[in-house]
Amino acid sequence: MKPTERFKRRYISFSLSLSGKPPAYQEAKEMVHSHFLSFFGESGVSSLAFKLVKYDAPSGRGILRCERSRADEAIFCMACLSSWKGAVARLEPLSTSGTIKRL
């Protein structure tokens, strides 16, 4: 498939915290995946082209990918995360870009 025929991507950098501290990689991955799945559903996640690209556990910073036309929905979904397993959680979007390099 030609690059022009593929879906257009947006990369969103984020900062993740659980009870004020950055969670470990596995926990962060589980948290982000289950939150997006509960918000969008299986069909929604597939059409969103969602992927957790990168996550740095010590700093709590990471990058996720979504489809260009649905970047607002992805950011809204991130903003809706307020708790995880009874603890205060925050998934804060930092910046949006079309390339990982520019984030």
Partner 1 sequence: MDIVRFEPLSGEGAGRALPVSSLSNFFESANALAAKQVCRKKNSLLHAGNYEVDEGDLLELARAGGALVFSFSDLLPESGFRRAIIISKMRLALAACRKRGTGFVFATLAKDASQMRGARELSAFAAVLGATDVERKEAEKNMARLACGAAKPKGQTQSNLSKVPSASGISPPSAKKVGK
**72 near partner 1, judged by CB under 8 A:** yes
Judged by DSSP in three states, 78 sits in helix
**Backbone dihedral region of 91: left (phi > 0), alpha (psi from -120 to 50 degrees) or beta?**
beta
**10 near partner 1, judged by CB under 8 A:** no
Pick one of 22, 23, 78, 84: the residue that binds partner 1 (CB under 8 A). Answer: 78
**37 near partner 1, judged by CB under 8 A:** no
Contacts (Cβ under 8 Å, ≥6 apart) of 85: none
Question: What is the binding site for partner 1 (CB under 8 A)?
Answer: 38, 71-73, 75-76, 78-80, 82, 88, 90, 92-93
